[in-house]
Structure 1
Amino acid sequence: MTPEQIAVWAGAATAVCALLAGLWRAGRAAIRAAARLDDLADDWRGEPARPGVPARPGVLERVGRIEQRTTEIAAGLGDLERRLVRVEHELHPNGGGSLRDAVNRVDARTARIAPDN
């Protein structure tokens, strides 16, 4: 075998090794990506309970819970808004029936009884 042939075979072996190393790295990257996609699918669907690990609901179930809770909160806010309107009504004079009118009457009486110096 001549030195030129040895150099050609060494170059070919190097190219084959480099190709195999590139395929190895690409394969490992593909496996990691597939594992991440599998984790994403598990998060989307949720997971049932297993020994030592509680169940995890899926994304759609979580969204459903959020919508239900939002509806409950909105209903509570409607009641809170009605109560706030009643309280605010008491803070403005309305001709004698509000708390503000009562405070104004007490203030006027106090000013007549004990005028400021």
Structure 2
Amino acid sequence: MIPAPIAEWLEAQSALAVLLWLLALSSVAFGVVGFVVKVLPFFQRVSHFFDDWFGEDARDGQPARPGVMVRLQTIETTQTAQTTKLDAVHHEVFPNSGKSLRDRTDQTSHVVRAMARELGMDPDDLEDTTPTKEKR
């Protein structure tokens, strides 16, 4: 059953007018659907961006994903720890206060050269026993 006001309106219209109204309504409907289909991927990408930026809580079967700021903080913390370790290595491989590995190696080299001179040897003639890529 068609409601009375709609039935009266349909009786007052010609078949061509009703057909044009249906065509116009279907065009609008297809236009809206087409617009949504074209715009939906963009909004999905925006949604994914915000999920990545702010992070996501843990869900069933999925671990929590930290956001960008938490990840940057983790990177900075890791970098600080690595800088501390690198400073320790730097201290050992360059001459400095006399306590580093490099200083001890240089001292040992000087002692060996002095001993070679005492034994009447030329310190420059000492055999180089430093391992190289070919000897390994």
TM-score normalised to structure 2 length? 0.56
Identity of aligned residues (%): 24
Mapped pair 1:111 → 2:121: yes
Identify which of 75, 81, 89 aligns with 2:103: 89
Is 2:42 aligned against 1:42? no
TM superposition score normalised by structure 1 = 0.64
| Aligned counterpart in structure 2 of residue 31 of structure 1, from 37, 40, 59 | 40
Work out whether 1:67 is the aligned partner of 2:76. yes
CA RMSD of aligned residues (A): 3.1
Q: Which runs of 5+ in 1 are unaligned?
A: 1-12, 93-97, 113-117
How many matched pairs? Answer: 97
- Work out the CA distance in 2 between the residues paired with 1:47 and 1:41: 10
- Structure 1 residues 59-68 or 20-29, which shifts more? 20-29
> Matched residues in 1 for 2:120 and 2:53: separation?
69
Higher relative contact order (CA 8 A, sep 6+): 1
Structure 2: distance between partners of 1:63 and 1:71: 12
Structure 2 residue identity aligned to 1:111: M
In structure 2, the CA distance between the partners of 1:51 and 1:23, relative to structure 1 (3 Å rule), is closer
- Choose the corresponding residue for 2:62, options 50, 53, 63: 53
Structure 2 unaligned regions, length at least 5: 1-22, 95-99, 123-136
Rg larger for: 2
